[in-house]
Amino acid sequence: MAESKKTPIRVLISGAAGQIGYSLIPMIASGRALGPDQPISLVLLDIPPCATKLQGVCMEVLDCSFGLLTEVIPSTDAKTAFKGVNLAILVGGFPRKKGMVRADLLKINGGIFSGMGKAIADQAHPNVKVVVVANPANTNCLIAALNADKIPKKNFSALTRLDMNRAKGQVMDKLALATSNDVKNIVIWGNHSKTQYPDVTSAQVKKGSSDWTPIAKVASEEDMKFFTGEFITTVQYRGAAVIKARGLSSACSAANAVGDHIKSLYGGTSEGEIVSMAVWSNGNPYGIADGLYYSFPVTCKGGEWEFAKVPTTAEGQKLMKATEAELLEEKKEALAK
């Protein structure tokens, strides 16, 4: 282990033997997400049928010889795996299968994530941070949080950083920027679904200079038509496009986005930077209903986040309410007895 005076953070990844979990492990264990001097105690959780595969994953983690890793603990028991966990990354969930409707998926995952929430409340550190990746991520996050009665709702978040990264890539490509680091402050509103609203109203870019410039001052009229039309649907349906082309759902890009999400949450956002996370909606400044995990622009510092206030357009507000409506319906279905 690399020498460090810091106390190890205990990080749990559920679904650790799956594609996303497997791809995520190096991003956590290498220090990319939590910092180059932060020791990590890593718990890898999966379901009992994956026990042998999980052992193989642990062998590979050991073979990587990560300098920050103090221990690797495999587990197939969700009731005990969360003991002392500081950061829980919930990747494992029940995937949608042929013939299933959304209500079926919500019901099955509701059972899984209610159990996760109870286990987190019973065993994890009182200030544990929980990042939900498994779809439907926003509502799975809600179910877990509602069942973790001892843990603040603000400690839970769901992943929309993948959508934000996808949007950054589209802007980089459209405006012929050098890299995606030349784009910031794109906002993803709402649900991690086809109703999400990718919004460039507050976006800034660097093109031909070292200064950040509002996108509207750089983009042509045709570009702006793209950003209020095809761009939105491209980001909304990007996951389906990847599945069609690859034959499998996004894994590398999803794991990368989880790493980015955690890096922003713990490492903090830079001055003038906002990022998108699905967070507890209570007290938001945009008129979105309380009691949801809805993607907002936020700033972060030391594991905590705050709402960021950005301008919106009249058309954008309609799209924000449309994705809110879907989340309210998902909540109703998920909580139905």
Average pLDDT, the chain: 95
How do residues 33-81 score in pLDDT, each as one tens digit?
999 999 999 999 999 999 999 999 999 999 999 999 999 999 999 999 9
pLDDT at 189 over 70: yes
- Of the CA atoms within 13 Å of residue 8, those in its CB half-sphere come to 21
What value does the mean pLDDT take over residues 293-303? 98
Q: d(Cα 287, Cα 302) in Å, to the nearest integer? A: 27
Q: d(Cα 178, Cα 167) in Å, to the nearest integer? A: 15
Annotated catalytic residues are 192
Identify the pLDDT of residue 98.
67
What value does the mean pLDDT take over residues 179-190? 97
Residue 169's SS3 state is helix
What value does the mean pLDDT take over residues 192-215? 94
The percentage of the chain sitting over the pLDDT mark of 90, rounded to a whole number, equals: 89
- Residue 4 or 19, more confident: 19
Stated pTM of the model: 0.95
List, in order, residues 6 or more apart from 65 with CB less than 8 Å away: none
Q: d(Cα 74, Cα 12) in Å, to the nearest integer? A: 10
Identify the pLDDT of residue 298.
98
Identify the pLDDT of residue 12.
98
Confidence of residue 97 (pLDDT cuts 50, 70, 90): low
Identify the pLDDT of residue 2.
45
